[in-house]
């Protein structure tokens, strides 16, 4: 079989794989948004079946042979085709010894874990989720045992699933730098005499008004509603089943309007990443090559670097007064800016302020390592969670809902959480690069997201599927990954905000 013949065969099979994955994605979206509670278990079985059909197509010996021929002849291919060949070879090494039955078991466990997590969270009872969490760990460890060339450090294999090339040793260094600079700064902030007004943040608002704001926000940052939609769910997420189908979700809180505001801008950032990638990525089936660190860098760029800036808040201030007249009647733009940037140690990661957010990630990272190493029993996890929160942030959950059950991520495995922090570090680096060419605050205050998104499209989005994270950030900035840009940004912003000496 020639390289050209292999490419033709692989492409034809991937057309079918894409159909199954598209359908599975739609089923999953339905399950997490509008599916009635009693129908979720069956919905999960359907999704697992569809995903397994895609997996079986890629395990067929003829497909495997063609994919390996393609990899062997990758130097004959163009950049997009070569990326596909390397992607398929990487997947082959990870799943060569995994059977279709193994994959189906993992998908079934994940879907059942989601159902059990929802039930446990509603009941504020971790014990309802514990058996599923143990099952998730079991299938994760089994998948590692089946990998070719697996790292002897089990957790590193899981990290690599979400962020290619990342290791726990490097994360230990990055988080160590964060602790060294952020812990003393947090103490100084907590001792500051600066008083920030926040009473209006908890004034009641309607779901209808929040939805109007959400649609305005998405439109403002450049979301294309002809290619996407907005829905609601328990834990906000974004999913893109196809090239012209991007689905953003949020959750409305009647006494905390900024919760939805920032979840919408965050998820909208994910959507913009997908909507603005090269059409060639879809043609060559490489749209899933972006790592979660890359993706979270973009979502948190729009959420924090743009969304919490005075320029952006000044831009949306008139709309906030329009949709929330009773909330905003006596609030100035500066008071709004200070309130959404207030630093306050809290329990819920998704609602944490920009400064303490990194602490939430470090907590999860440390607990995940202990879970994978087998150093803590499942029954003891709630206490470990609560103790770690108290040690890091001085707060302690009163129950499981606001503690260990707050995040959905462990229903599908471990290793995702560190990518949020990596995202902050990436976007701090390319924000500094962007401001060398663009007056960012001016563009934002004028609503010129065509300028912002245009720069992102050319420098950040364009090569994300074709470059590993280390090469990608070096291609954008000319520098290797460092936490310094992010930490410098936090130190300056919050020293100024809290008027520290």
Report CA-CA distances (Å) from 223 to 248, 275, 301.
10, 8, 15
The span from the CA of 76 to the CA of 243, in Å, is: 27
Q: Give all strands (DSSP E) within 137-244, no chain letters.
A: 228-232, 238-242
Pairing of strands 228-232, 245-250: parallel
pLDDT tens by residue, 57-108: 999 999 999 999 999 999 999 999 999 999 999 999 999 999 999 999 999 9
The span from the CA of 264 to the CA of 306, in Å, is: 13
The tokens 């329990």 sit on which residue?
A: 347
Sheet-wide strand order for 245-250 = 228-232, 245-250, 238-242
> Does residue 149 register a pLDDT over 90?
no
pLDDT tens by residue, 200-232: 999 999 999 999 999 999 999 999 999 999 999
267, 296, 338, 354: which is the annotated catalytic residue?
267
Q: Which residues pair with 229 in a beta bridge?
A: 247
The span from the CA of 204 to the CA of 327, in Å, is: 8
pLDDT tens by residue, 267-288: 999 999 999 999 999 999 999 9
Taking Cα atoms as reference points, which of 354, 336, 337 lies closest to residue 428?
Answer: 354
* Whether residue 491 lies in the annotated active site: no
**What is the model's pTM?**
0.94
> Does residue 185 register a pLDDT over 90?
yes
The domains located in the chain, with CATH, are 3-150 (no CATH), 168-497 (1.10.1370.30)
What DSSP state is assigned to residue 51? H
**What is the Rg, in whole angstroms, of the alpha carbon atoms belonging to the chain?**
23
The span from the CA of 131 to the CA of 315, in Å, is: 48
């Amino acid at each position: 079989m020639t390289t050209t013949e292999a490419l033709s065969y692989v492409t034809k099979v991937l057309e079918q794989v894409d159909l199954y994955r598209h359908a599975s994605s739609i089923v999953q979206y339905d399950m997490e948004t509008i599916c009635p509670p009693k129908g979720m278990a069956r919905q999960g079985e359907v999704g697992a079946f569809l995903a397994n059909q895609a997996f079986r197509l890629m395990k067929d010996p003829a497909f495997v042979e063609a994919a390996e021929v393609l990899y062997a002849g990758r130097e004959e291919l163009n950049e997009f085709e070569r990326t596909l060949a390397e992607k398929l070879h990487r997947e082959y090494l990870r799943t060569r010894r995994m059977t279709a039955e193994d994959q189906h078991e993992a998908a079934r466990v994940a879907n059942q874990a989601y159902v059990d997590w929802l039930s446990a969270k509603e009941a504020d009872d971790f014990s309802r989720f514990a058996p599923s969490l143990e099952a998730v760990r079991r299938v994760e460890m089994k998948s590692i045992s089946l990998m070719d060339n697996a790292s002897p450090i089990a957790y590193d294999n899981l990290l690599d699933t979400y962020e290619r090339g990342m290791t726990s040793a490097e994360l230990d260094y990055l988080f160590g730098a964060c602790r060294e600079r952020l812990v003393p700064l947090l103490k100084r902030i907590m001792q500051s005499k600066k008083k920030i007004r926040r009473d209006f943040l908890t004034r009641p608002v309607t779901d209808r008004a929040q939805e109007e704001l959400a649609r305005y926000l998405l439109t403002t940052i450049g979301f294309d509603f002809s290619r996407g939609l907005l829905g609601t769910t328990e834990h906000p997420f974004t999913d893109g089943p196809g090239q012209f189908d991007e689905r953003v979700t949020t959750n409305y809180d009647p006494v905390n309007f900024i919760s939805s505001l920032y979840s919408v801008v965050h998820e909208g950032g994910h959507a913009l990443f997908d909507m603005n990638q090269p059409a060639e990525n879809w043609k060559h089936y490489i749209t899933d090559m972006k790592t979660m660190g890359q993706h979270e860098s973009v979502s948190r760029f729009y959420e924090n670097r743009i969304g919490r800036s005075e320029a952006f808040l000044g831009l949306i201030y008139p709309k906030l007064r329009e949709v929330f007249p009773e909330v905003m009647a006596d609030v100035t733009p500066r008071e709004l800016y200070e309130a959404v940037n207030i630093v306050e140690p809290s329990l819920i990661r998704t609602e944490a302020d920009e400064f303490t957010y990194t602490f939430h990630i470090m907590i999860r990272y440390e607990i995940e390592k202990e879970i994978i190493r087998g150093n803590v029993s499942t029954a003891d996890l709630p206490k470990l969670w609560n103790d770690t929160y108290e040690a890091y942030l001085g707060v302690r959950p009163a129950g499981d809902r606001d503690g260990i059950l707050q995040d959905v991520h462990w229903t599908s495995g471990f290793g995702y959480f560190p990518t949020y922090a990596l995202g902050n570090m990436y976007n701090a680096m390319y924000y500094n690069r962007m401001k060398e060419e663009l007056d960012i605050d001016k563009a934002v205050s004028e609503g010129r997201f065509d300028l912002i998104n245009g720069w992102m499209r050319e420098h950040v989005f364009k090569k994300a599927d074709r470059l590993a994270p280390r090469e990608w950030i070096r291609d954008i900035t000319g520098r290797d990954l460092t936490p310094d840009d992010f930490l410098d940004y936090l130190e300056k912003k919050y020293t100024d905000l809290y008027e520290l000496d």
